Chain A
């Protein structure tokens, strides 16, 4: 095992444990904080893939902005665990079975796909996650979808402002 593999497994374990804690924490604030740790672990994976730009944007946008809004809303609503209606046991069981089946399906798909077989993750290689190649790809090959999605964001922003003004 070289250093990269050790880092990869450590980050993966970190991500999975934090993600599990998001689900099993009773307090919504704790769930949000664990979710922030998940984003950090994923950013670590991006760095292993030599995608520093994606890693830092993941931290800025998800861990830095969206999660602050999550915390904000939960703190303002002041959700307490004792007031929160607890779900019935059978509802939880159905959720576990549905989620587990989906996971099995995903694993089966990945295992069946021949293009995935016998291949390692490309670590420390490739440059698509760096700012220069990514910008070039976005503004040449994918310029139409890129611009359409920015118009979509703009309209969502205008909509939010109009709803807020009412």
Chain B
């Protein structure tokens, strides 16, 4: 029977890896919401959540419990299946990115070498881009299925914003691809670890473009036009309640963590701890150090996202479109030209 001729240990290993990575991501997300409230509190000179548990550390659990206990409401005029599909799709699309992120080098366990990456595919960068472009469906379907004109307007805004900024993001990725010569995230990180400078040195403008576009793709302030409450009440998730609303809110934080991980891997050396030779310690310890380093980089990026959110006010819609089409895209094209010229001059 050829059907069962798999390497079953491989499948089990990958399954465990997927479960661990997804659960860790969700746990970190839980505490990112807490972090967001604390950062906001510090920036606004107030204590922030401090009642549930020591230092308010149980606050995210209380929030989650509150969301689950609330009544589920599906509006009678809503399109029922699509209304349920929307938040699920948003969450799935944001979690799917973690499949190609190299979390660290490999660990040796029970005589097996386990790479700490779910899938090393030779089109990793494009996979990330494809998943990002899928993310907008969750918002569009949810906004349309609610059968509410504010939700629909907000969903359309979200879609046009995502499409506009995806172009500049793709052009920034092309410049990175030109300088690294590979699409596999594992190779990109490995090249940065083995002696080369981090890619930020070669692609500073590309990183800036990618960072701004990532902020726009995550619908973070100053790009949170889809949920501009003073114009659109609450945005595309206005009709949602209970955990379906929770999924939408959570997906934003998962998106933030995933784009931080992607940026850290592509431009800031991924799991590479600077000025430290990983080959001097045992491989398992090196792998653990790598995971820790990547997590610290992710936390720093997430903090940057929050810092910007609580500092800069929201754009107007025409400003957003002007920035996307008239500034980011020409800048990304210029970045591509400069990269091409530098590569040619080195030949």
Residue of A2, A52, A75 near B123 (CB, 8 A) is: A52
Binds B, one of A58-66, A89-97, A142-150: A58-66
* B183 close to A (CB within 8 Å): yes
Given contacts A59-B130, A60-B133, A130-B122, contact A29 B144 (CB under 8 A): yes
Q: Let me know if B2 and A63 touch, CB within 8 A.
A: no
A56-B126 in contact given A2-B2, A3-B3 (Cβ < 8 Å)? yes
Residues of B within 8 A of A71 (CB): 137, 140, 144, 159
Residue A8 lies at the interface, judged by CB distance under 8 Å to chain B: no
- A138 → chain B closest CB, angstroms: 15
Q: List, in ascending order, chain A residues with CB within 8 A of B152's CB.
A: 75
B155-172: CB near A (< 8 Å → 1, else 0) gives 110011011001000000
Per a CB cutoff under 8 Å, which of A29, A64, A72 touches B134?
A: A64
Could you say which of A53, A59, A65 contacts B163, with CB atoms under 8 Å apart?
Answer: A65
Say yes or no for A1: interface residue by CB 8 A criterion. yes
B126 and A53 form a contact (CB under 8 A): yes
* Interface size of B as a range: 20 to 34
The answer to whether residues A1 and B3 also contact, given A65-B163, A68-B159, A76-B156 and a CB cut-off of 8 A, is: yes
Residues of B within 8 A of A76 (CB): 156
- Asked if A60 and B129 make an inter-chain contact with CB atoms under 8 angstroms apart, the answer reads yes
Give chain A's interface residue range (CB within 8 Å of chain B). 20 to 34
Q: Does A36 reach chain B (CB closer than 8 Å)?
A: yes
Q: Is the interface of A mostly helix, strand, loop or mixed?
A: helix
A75 and B144 contact, Cβ closer than 8 Å, known pairs A60-B129, A64-B130, A68-B159: yes
* Option from B6, B79, B123, B134 in Cβ contact (under 8 Å) with A63: B134
- The verdict on A42 contacting chain B, using a C-beta distance below 8 Å, is no
The reply on B95 being an interface residue by CB < 8 A is: no
Complex-state Cα separation, A56 to B123, whole angstroms: 8
Which residue of chain B is the closest to A63 with respect to CB atoms? B134
Asked if A33 CB lies within 8 Å of chain B CBs, one says yes
List the A side residues contacting B202 at CB < 8 Å: none
In contact, A75 and B155 (Cβ under 8 angstroms) = yes
**Shortest CB distance A126–B (Å):** 15
Q: What's the Cα separation between A53 and B129 when bound, in Å? A: 12
Q: Is the CB of A60 within 8 A of B130?
A: yes
Interface residue A57 (Cβ < 8 Å from any Cβ of B): yes
The distance in angstroms between the C-alpha atoms of A95 and B79, with both chains bound, is 30
20 contacts between A and B (CB under 8 A): A1-B3, A2-B2, A2-B3, A29-B144, A52-B121, A53-B123, A53-B126, A57-B126, A60-B126, A60-B129, A60-B130, A64-B134, A68-B163, A71-B144, A72-B156, A72-B160, A75-B155, A75-B156, A76-B156, A130-B122
Q: Using A68-B163, A75-B155 as known contacts, list a sample of 13 further A-B pairs with CB atoms less than 8 Å apart, ordered by residue number in A.
A: A3-B3, A27-B79, A33-B141, A52-B121, A53-B123, A53-B126, A59-B130, A59-B133, A63-B134, A64-B134, A69-B163, A71-B144, A130-B122
